[in-house]
Amino acid sequence: MNHLPIVKLKPAFHNEKEVVQLIFNKNDELNNLLRANTGMRWSKTMNCWYLPFYKTITQDLFMLVKPNFYLDYSDLKVHQESLVLKKETEKETITKPTDILQELSEESIHKIEEFKLWLNSKRYSTSTIETYTDALKTFLRYYAHKPISEITNDDLIIFNNHYIMANHFSASYQNQVVNAVKLFFNKIENKKLNPELVHRPKRTKLLPNVLSKEEVKLILNSLKNLKHKTMLSLIYSCGLRRGELLNLKTTDIDSKRNMIIIRQGKGRKDRIAPLSAKILEILRNYYSDYKPTVWLFEGEQQGEKYSEQSLQSVLKQALEKAKINKPVSLHWLRHSFATHLLENGTDLRYIQEILGHNSSRTTEIYTHVSTKSILQIKSPFDDL
């Protein structure tokens, strides 16, 4: 019997292209192996690693993961055999017109552009506009044979069951599509669809990943480059998101009032966060050495914003130097900041304000990972 960790290959459809998903139980060694492979991609919507499908993909993946992992390609084999059978029979009855994505009609192209202009006029973020228009495009390609005016709530339910669920797309992707379609019909077609009739899977409730204070200290102390150390220190000390750090300008640091202004963060909201004396000293040293002109953290060219890829690389190097093998992301520093504040006795309402959360329920998740109260509980095992 095979006792190696199993990597299961599954056929899927992603961004209108045929792909192969790699499904496996959490394994840091395998994650690092796939991350180092230049062709491998991570999908948030599918919540897995994947590759575009090509003829020799099974052999290539077998060579990549051997001898430490077992490759299960049974689903992919069945899928490939069915495709061969479909080509050989050449029967149009095998696939119904609504089971595949077709070319967009002229009407659909015009309506998608109209929807995009409406989203722009309402100042939706670039990423939201891209996500919503892509989702709507997929839905309208599924119903390319049908006039938009004739699409009903039943069609949305069919699309959900026969396309999203059949392709095992994630709950988050499902919600994106449903929300985009609902908004489109409401604002562009003046017709309300009821997404409540669409059965949606429950979202997986994951606890935020948190580092100990000792681990954060190891990461920050491993950095000898002052700019790199200042960037990661500021993310942790103020609970910043990656984009919020990179969008900071030199004028956003108010050293006289010991605070930082985060402009147009998530949800297009401005907020402030306190600056400790320690981080202010680091910022002054950094400013003296690097003399940024526009952005607080600039790239190689003066006046050019520091890139997200470079910032990710900074963290990766710090983790290697600190010998921390966890799959730490920049967002872990924000989670750790919030949890450590809570453990220090900071009121949840203040943490909510500093993090920029709309709802206190979002902030309350940190109570589930804080160890302050849990460690005070005495196990009955000790009394045996």
The pTM assigned to this predicted structure is: 0.57
| Closest to 338 (Cα-Cα) out of 309, 384, 369, 312 | 369
Whether 334 is catalytic = yes
CA-to-CA dists, residue 242 to 36, 100, 165, 166, 342, angstroms? 22, 38, 32, 35, 22
Collapsing DSSP states into helix, strand and coil, what is residue 316? helix
Helix runs in the chain, H state only: 28-36, 57-65, 74-89, 106-121, 126-142, 153-159, 171-187, 213-221, 226-238, 242-246, 277-290, 308-322, 330-343, 348-355, 360-363
Q: What is the pLDDT of residue 99?
A: 45
Between CA 303 and CA 293 the distance in angstroms is 6
Q: How far apart are CA 180 and CA 182, in angstroms?
A: 5
pLDDT given for residue 74 in this prediction? 79
Distance of CA 289 to the CA centre of its chain: 34
- Profile the chain (384 residues) by mean pLDDT over runs of 10 residues: 77 80 89 80 87 79 81 74 49 41 86 92 85 91 88 86 82 85 90 69 68 93 95 93 92 91 78 90 94 91 88 92 90 91 85 84 75 61 57
Retrieve residue 16's tokens. Answer: 């209108």
So what's the pLDDT on residue 98? 40
Catalytic residue among 10, 182, 334, 340: 334
**SS3 of residue 307 by DSSP:** coil
Which residues lie closer than 8 Å to 77 by C-beta, 6 or more apart? 58
Tell me if residue 53 falls in helix, strand or coil.
coil
User: Cα–Cα distance between 297 and 260 in angstroms, integer?
Assistant: 14
- Name the 3-class secondary structure at 192: coil
Other beta carbons within 10 Å of 289: 10
Question: Hey, what are 264's tokens?
Answer: 């147009």
Measured between alpha carbons, how far is residue 252 from residues 8, 164, 294, 297, 337 in Å? Answer: 48, 44, 11, 12, 20
Q: What are phi and psi of 304, to 5 degrees?
A: -100, 130
**Is position 366 annotated as part of the catalytic site?**
yes
Q: Is 361 a catalytic residue?
A: no
Residue type, 180: A
The verdict on whether 349 is a catalytic residue reads no
- The pair of three-digit structure tokens given for residue 20, joined into one six-digit string: 């192969």
Nearest Cα to Cα of residue 250 among 298, 311, 285: 298
Instruction: Please choose, from the candidates 122, 189, 123, the residue with its C-alpha nearest in 3D space to the C-alpha of residue 155.
Output: 189
40 within 8 A of 34, measured Cβ to Cβ: yes
Run of H or E residues at 262: strand 259-262
**Catalytic choice (241, 242, 271, 340):** 241
Q: Is 266 a catalytic site residue?
A: yes
Catalytic-role residue among 266, 290, 305, 321:
266
